[in-house]
Amino acid sequence: MMSANPYANLSLRVMSVQRFSLHDGPGIRTTVFLQGCPLHCPWCSNPESQPMHPVQRHKRDKCSGCGKCTSRCSKGAITHGEDGFPHFDRTRCIGCGECEQACPNEAIAISGKTMTVSEIMEIVKRDKDYYRNSGGGVTFSGGEVFMQPEGLVTLLEASKAEGLHTAIETCGQTSAEWLQRAEPLTDLFLYDIKHSNSEVLQHTTGGNLDRIVKNLKLLGSKGKAIVRIPCIPGFNLDEATIRGIFHLALQCEVEQVHLLPYHNLGADKYAQLAKEYAYTCESMRNEELEPYAEMGRAMGLSVQIGG
């Protein structure tokens, strides 16, 4: 029998699928985090999602050095080091997740596993009753969702075929063509603008502000976009920069802005990836952003702290 969706077997690289999300759009949602990002924000709370290839996080504090992961990996991607811990060769890993399953201590987390659209939708559909009762749905996030544009559009089509509310979290760094293909299938765009100065944005994150703003203009008139500003002390958290981002939102006909307070919840992941975490400041309290929210409201925007 033919599948109802001819692309159901299309594969994507997935960081994780999180059920019962409350911060990625309205109501109770399932958030599908896709692997790969064109930016390299140094405060990223999901650094394992940045490369397109599979990434292993190893939690040394949980590892007993039993070696079960080493013997389970058929690709020779794990060796047992002289220090008694497993060592990963990222060039050999295919993201099968076997080592993660073999570990008795949950000391390994694989990001970038391959999943088909059918497998993803199988999980998404489990909570349809919760979506219906709470006004929720499915959110596609990342990484950056448009790094896998064909898979993203297919997931959106499959979600709409199930009657689900759909949201996308994006940094906006994609082609106008893919954005316009996704737009009719998407009810809400949570659209990050991280800086108002193109050189600073480019230098720190690799983002192209010109392209990001042009893309937002395509969405603004549709009334589907909320601009989100991750507020990062020492990067963008000053009056001139936040005011500049508010102006960009207004230019693009977007009225709603969410200010996201900096948090350091992803800091441990950097150690698990043997990477340095560049931000050492404390997580922010919502109240610290109130003066910025007031500034935006005075400019005619609807500003919320948190998202």
* Residue 52 within binding range of ligand SF4, rule CB under 6 A: no
Q: Can you state the angle between helices 198-205 and 209-220, rounded to 10 degrees?
A: 110
Identity of the residue, 79 or 302, whose beta carbon is nearer to ligand SF4 in the bound complex:
79
Min dist CB 53 to ligand SF4, Å, is 10
Min dist CB 148 to ligand SF4, Å, is 19
Q: Kindly tell me which residue out of 64, 79, 180, 221 binds ligand SF4, with binding defined by CB under 6 A.
A: 64
What residues between 93 and 152 interact with ligand SF4 by CB under 6 A?
93-99, 102-103, 105, 107-108, 110
* Residue 55 within binding range of ligand SF4, rule CB under 6 A: no
Identity of the residue, 75 or 181, whose beta carbon is nearer to ligand SF4 in the bound complex:
75
Asked if 248 and 210 count as a contact pair (C-beta separation under 8 A), the reply is: no
Identity of the residue, 95 or 207, whose beta carbon is nearer to ligand SF4 in the bound complex:
95
Min dist CB 202 to ligand SF4, Å, is 33
Q: Kindly tell me which residue out of 52, 66, 200, 267 binds ligand SF4, with binding defined by CB under 6 A.
A: 66
- Tally of CB atoms within 10 A around 149: 16
Q: Which stretch binds ligand SF4 (CB under 6 A): 66-74, 119-127, 211-219, 227-235?
A: 66-74
Pairing between strand 11-21 and 86-88?
unpaired
* Residue 75 within binding range of ligand SF4, rule CB under 6 A: yes
* Residue 10 within binding range of ligand SF4, rule CB under 6 A: no
- Picking from 105, 97, 95, 93, the residue whose alpha carbon sits closest to that of residue 67 is 105
Identity of the residue, 39 or 55, whose beta carbon is nearer to ligand SF4 in the bound complex:
55
154 burial via Cβ count (<10 Å: 0-12, 13-18, 19+): buried
* Residue 51 within binding range of ligand SF4, rule CB under 6 A: no
* Residue 67 within binding range of ligand SF4, rule CB under 6 A: yes
Asked if 141 and 191 count as a contact pair (C-beta separation under 8 A), the reply is: no
Q: Kindly tell me which residue out of 68, 165, 258, 269 binds ligand SF4, with binding defined by CB under 6 A.
A: 68
264 burial via Cβ count (<10 Å: 0-12, 13-18, 19+): middle
Identity of the residue, 104 or 135, whose beta carbon is nearer to ligand SF4 in the bound complex:
104
* Residue 237 within binding range of ligand SF4, rule CB under 6 A: no
Number of residues forming the site for ligand SF4 (CB under 6 A): 29
* Residue 193 within binding range of ligand SF4, rule CB under 6 A: no
Identity of the residue, 93 or 153, whose beta carbon is nearer to ligand SF4 in the bound complex:
93
Q: Kindly tell me which residue out of 65, 149, 244, 266 binds ligand SF4, with binding defined by CB under 6 A.
A: 65
Min dist CB 52 to ligand SF4, Å, is 15
Binding site for ligand SF4 (CB under 6 A): 54, 56, 63-69, 72-73, 75, 77-78, 86, 88, 93-99, 102-103, 105, 107-108, 110
